[in-house]
């Protein structure tokens, strides 16, 4: 940008500086980042409006006014900076933002922010403390870095990702266009790029086979950002490769030039600890037109890829059992379509350590590569997983099912100080992990050996690059984040801001060590983030036991909005998941208890989630931590559906009811215009009326002995939709008026028209 433009921005910043607002100490740096992101969005809106109607249009004038207001708000936040500590926090936000600037609106937002910050520290240096002048050189250096970025000014935040995702099979991207590290074939040659800022030497070594012990090495050259690069002549698709890195062994670094390291950005890898593969990623998609459900319409089915078709009852034979291909061939696919769920949440399919620390790791929560699909679920380990997982997503989309990936960015398979370097440790151990003060050990709020350092700019970039890659390359519709409170708030905010608007985002809002939480359940209200609701799980299980607090149950049934959500769609409701005991085990397979829980789950406000097999009384033989069981404890025995057809049909009917009526799918917090509570004298019972064009009464009796009477409103006959045993969406199970008695351990649903 020319000097005149920069002076204009500085003048704008000086004018805005006259507006004084909050005190910085009352705000968090993350909110300052929110203001910068908003500035970028408003700049993008202005550019689009000017492109469509010119500089003199009314829409352009309105957009410019909004952009000026956004800049004013940004300055208001900076006006609260009064101490050098606060200045350091603000500068750190700007530094990290500049590092990740990828488009024109973001660049302009960063320029305005820097100009405003410069004016603030100049003022403080002259009037309060000369020490503030130290930031002027830092700002100049950061502005120089920003000016050096070669960026187009016609794309807004996340626009490129959305466009590429929409283009489907015809989108072809070069390494430069993707902005990804790793191995790419460009112009007939193959480029390699890996991040290792403290390394003194890095080589890429090529192999013909993954089992080869010797290969051909090529030296790489480091750029100013700490990325090592080299280009090898020829299209090397099908070639295996690894890196060797040398450097210091102090301050937490673990360089060992004798150890081969796989590529953190590998698109395919040979198991979790083998070599990386330059893989052909071409695929012809036929899922055009598929759109994921809106949050309020989601009904999620949590399932493990292998468990879905590993059991002989799946109808899948031979080596295809338990694979991506087996998932599509299994009778289970038609089952979930008939059941009526519209999204599957797949337990981890990133490449993972299958036998961590000497124990089977069946569930997959030990990720080693965030861009490569797990190869044990494929027909081979030579990159077949890339095509076969795409086939799975494509097939699910054609069946009307969205795909949500369970992702594990809180820790990795490299484990604690006893774990050998596989990739991250050997390239930038103190950058990718949170180390303790002596830097020999790892913070372990995950309980899995380490914490991934999401607050480091390059680690955050990797997380965002990975998520965008799976959306673009694999057409994935959403993500569930394991132990998400280990990720810092700025990363969580960036994920929500930068992924396509329709991307489903779900967080597990806790850590193994609560003292290591970076945020809590009450954060991210009124955002795209939904969270697993363990409060719902415990209160509804209490209902199923006949032991619950009625006020607490009312809160979770209404979307938990009085506790930590702002709207029901921020709550993912469940009574069973992969973790812990199944409800079948907890309640001894008692069908009436299971039906009581099913009614609460599928009539409550929020996003319901079922665990695979829950709908036909699958148990785990009492095992409440089956992470290491690659057998019929976890495998789905599809013959159970026939044996428990009554429970399956009950779930199927409740799902059809939920999908048919908006009463069960509110997008805002409920008030007395939406819901009315019925409170019998017996504290073990609760009823609620969901109002709409058709009103519904849900009557819950958890008492194991007493029939409980509910006085039905309006004095008119109500149609029985659910009598506790069966569900008929049309209300063909009879009528009810006056005082209606609900049997013990039973849930009833009525409708008035």
CATH code for the structural domain at 675-751 = 2.60.40.1180
Predicted confidence (pLDDT) per residue in 533-577, tens digit? 999 999 999 999 999 999 999 999 999 998 999 999 999 999 999
Length of the chain as a residue count: 753
* Both tokens assigned to 218: 């090529």
Lowest mean pLDDT among 125-129, 392-396, 552-556: 125-129
Q: Tell me: the pLDDT tens digits for 705-747?
A: 999 999 999 999 999 999 999 999 999 999 999 999 999 999 9
Which residues fall within 8 angstroms of residue 739, CB to CB, at 6 or more apart? Answer: 709, 710, 711, 712
- The Cα 480–Cα 300 span in angstroms is 11
SS3 state at 241? strand
Q: What is the mean pLDDT of residues 621-634?
A: 98
Structure tokens at 506: 């779900």
Q: Is pLDDT of 45 > 90?
A: no
Write the CB contacts of 557 (distance below 8 Å, at least 6 apart in sequence).
600, 603, 604, 605, 688
What dihedral angle (degrees, nearest 10) is formed by the CA atoms of 404, 405, 406, 407?
-140
pLDDT (mean) for 175-190 = 82
The residues, any chain, with a CB within 8 Å of residue 129's CB and separated by 6 or more, are 84
Q: How confident is the model at residue 80 (pLDDT cuts 50, 70, 90)?
A: confident
Query: Which comes out higher in pLDDT, residue 125 or 610?
Result: 610
User: What is the distance between the alpha carbons of residues 395 and 393, in angstroms, rounded to a whole number?
Assistant: 5
Task: Using the predicted structure, report yes or no on whether residue 464 has a pLDDT greater than 90.
Answer: yes
- Residue 54 CB neighbours (<10 A): 10
Containing 371, the helix (H) or strand (E) segment is strand 367-373
Q: What is the pLDDT of residues 494-525, one digit of tens each?
A: 999 999 999 999 999 999 999 999 999 999 99
Q: Is the pLDDT of residue 79 over 90?
A: no
407 SS3 class: strand
73 is catalytic: no
State yes or no: pLDDT of 650 exceeds 50.
Answer: yes
Cβ-based neighbours of 72, under 8 Å, separated by 6 or more:
16, 19
CA pair distance 37, 498, nearest whole angstrom: 10
pLDDT given at position 173: 52
% of the chain at pLDDT higher than 90: 76
How far is Cα 708 from Cα 702, in angstroms, rounded to an integer? 9
DSSP 293: P
Active site residue 482: yes
- Looking at residue 96, its pLDDT comes to 78
- What's residue 153's pLDDT? 34
Find out whether 610 and 301 touch, Cβ atoms under 8 Å.
yes
Fold designation for 178-277: Immunoglobulin-like (2.60.40)
In CATH terms, are 178-277 and 675-751 the same topology?
Answer: yes
Looking at the DSSP bridge assignments, the partners of residue 533 are 573
Give which of 210, 193, 196, 203 is closest to 258, Cα–Cα. Answer: 203
Q: How far apart are CA 132 and CA 90, in angstroms?
A: 13
Given pLDDT bands bounded at 50, 70 and 90, which one contains residue 35?
confident
Q: In this predicted model, what pLDDT tens digit does every residue of 668-691 receive, in sequence order?
A: 999 999 999 999 999 999 999 999
Catalytic one among 508, 570, 576, 703?
Answer: 508
First to last CA, the chain: 66
Q: What percent of the chain has pLDDT over 70?
A: 91
With 0-12 CB in 10 A as exposed, 13-18 as middle and 19+ as buried, what is 604? buried
621: left (phi over 0), alpha (psi -120 to 50) or beta: left
Residue pair 94/38 in contact by the 8 Å Cβ criterion: no
157-196: b or e for each residue (b if 16 or more CB lie within 10 Å)?
bbebbbebbeeeeeeebebeebebbbbbbeeeebbbbbbb
Residue 312, CB-side half-sphere exposure with 13 Å CA sphere: 0
Parallel/antiparallel/unpaired status of strands 504-507 and 201-207: unpaired
Would you tell me how many other CB atoms lie within 10 Å of the CB of residue 57? 13
Do 205 and 260 form a contact (C-beta atoms < 8 A)? yes
Model pLDDT for residues 336-366, shown as the tens digit of each residue: 999 999 999 999 999 999 999 889 999 999 9
Residue with tokens 């079922």: 610
372: left (phi over 0), alpha (psi -120 to 50) or beta: beta
Which pLDDT band, with edges at 50, 70 and 90, does 18 fall under? very low
Where are the domains positioned within the chain?
3-157, 178-277, 675-751
Task: Give CA separation, 266 vs 47, 181, 290, 320, in Å.
Answer: 36, 9, 28, 25
Nearest to 180 by CA among 204, 155, 161, 199: 161
Which among 428, 482, 498, 703 is annotated as catalytic?
482
């Amino acid at each position: 940008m020319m000097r005149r433009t920069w002076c204009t921005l500085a003048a704008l910043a000086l004018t805005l500086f006259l507006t004084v607002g909050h005190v910085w100490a009352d705000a968090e740096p993350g909110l300052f980042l929110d203001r910068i992101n908003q500035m970028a969005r408003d700049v993008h809106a202005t550019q689009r409006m000017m492109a469509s109607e010119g500089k003199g249009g009314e829409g352009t004038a309105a957009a410019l006014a909004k952009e000026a207001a956004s800049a004013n708000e940004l300055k208001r936040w900076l006006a609260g900076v009064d101490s050098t500590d606060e200045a350091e926090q603000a500068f750190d936000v700007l530094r990290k933002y500049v590092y990740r600037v990828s488009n024109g609106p973001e660049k302009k937002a960063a320029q305005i922010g820097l100009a405003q910050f410069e004016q603030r520290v100049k003022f403080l240096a002259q009037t309060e403390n000369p020490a503030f002048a130290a930031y002027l050189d830092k700002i100049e250096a950061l502005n120089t870095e920003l000016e050096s970025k070669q960026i187009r000014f016609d794309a807004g935040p996340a626009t490129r990702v959305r466009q590429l995702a929409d283009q489907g099979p015809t989108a072809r991207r070069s390494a430069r266009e993707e902005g990804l590290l790793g191995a790419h074939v460009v112009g007939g040659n193959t480029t390699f790029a890996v991040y290792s800022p403290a390394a003194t030497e890095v080589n890429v070594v090529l192999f013909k086979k993954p089992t080869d012990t010797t290969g051909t090495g090529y030296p790489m050259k480091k750029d100013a950002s700490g990325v090592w690069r080299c280009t090898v002549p020829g299209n090397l698709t099908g070639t295996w490769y690894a890196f060797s890195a040398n450097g210091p062994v102090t301050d937490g670094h673990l360089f060992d030039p004798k150890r081969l390291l796989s590529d953190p950005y590998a698109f395919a890898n040979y198991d979790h600890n083998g070599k990386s593969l330059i893989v052909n990623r071409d695929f012809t998609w036929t899922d055009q037109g598929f759109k994921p459900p809106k949050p309020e319409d989601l009904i999620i089915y949590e399932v493990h890829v292998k468990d879905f078709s590993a059991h002989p009852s799946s109808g899948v034979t031979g080596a295809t059992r338990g694979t991506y291909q087996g998932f599509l061939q299994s009778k289970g696919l038609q089952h979930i379509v008939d059941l009526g769920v519209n999204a599957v949440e797949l337990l981890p399919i990133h490449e993972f350590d299958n036998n961590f620390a000497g124990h089977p790791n069946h569930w997959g929560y030990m990720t080693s590569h965030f861009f490569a699909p797990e190869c044990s679920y494929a027909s081979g380990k030579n990159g077949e997983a890339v095509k076969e997982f795409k086939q799975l997503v494509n097939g699910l989309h054609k069946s009307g099912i969205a795909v949500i990936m369970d992702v594990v960015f809180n820790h990795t398979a490299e484990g604690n100080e006893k774990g050998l370097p596989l990739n991250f440790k050997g390239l930038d151990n103190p950058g990718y992990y949170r180390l303790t003060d002596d830097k020999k050990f790892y913070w372990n709020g995950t309980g899995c050996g380490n914490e991934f350092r999401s607050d480091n700019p390059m680690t955050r970039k990797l997380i965002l690059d990975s998520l965008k890659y799976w959306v673009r390359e694999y057409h994935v519709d959403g993500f569930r984040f394991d132990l998400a409170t280990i990720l810092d708030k700025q990363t969580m905010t960036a994920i929500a801001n930068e992924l396509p608007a329709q991307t489903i985002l779900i967080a597990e809002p806790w850590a193994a060590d609560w003292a290591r939480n970076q945020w809590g359940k009450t954060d991210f209200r009124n955002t795209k983030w939904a969270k697993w609701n363990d409060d719902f799980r415990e209160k509804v299980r209490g209902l199923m036991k006949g032991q619950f607090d009625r006020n607490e149950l009312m809160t979770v049934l209404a979307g938990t909005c009085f506790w930590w959500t702002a709207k029901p769609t921020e709550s993912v409701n469940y009574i069973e998941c992969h973790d812990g005991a199944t409800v079948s085990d907890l309640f001894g397979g008692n069908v009436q208890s299971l039906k009581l829980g099913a009614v609460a789950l599928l009539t409550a406000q929020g996003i319901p989630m079922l665990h695979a097999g829950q709908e036909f009384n699958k148990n785990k033989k009492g095992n409440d931590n089956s992470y290491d069981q690659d057998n019929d404890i976890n495998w789905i025995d599809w013959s159970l559906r026939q044996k428990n057809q009554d429970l399956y049909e009950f779930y199927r009917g409740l799902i059809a009811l939920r999908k048919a009526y908006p009463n069960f799918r509110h997008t805002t917090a409920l008030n007395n215009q939406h819901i009315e509570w019925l409170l019998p004298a017996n504290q073990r019972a609760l009823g609620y009326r969901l109002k709409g064009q058709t009103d519904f009464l849900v009557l819950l009796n958890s008492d194991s002995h007493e029939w409980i009477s509910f006085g039905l409103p309006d004095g008119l006959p109500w149609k029985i939709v659910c009598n506790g045993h069966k569900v008929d969406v049309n209300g063909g199970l009879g009528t009810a008026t006056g005082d209606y008695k609900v049997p013990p351990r039973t849930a009833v649903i009525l409708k008035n028209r």
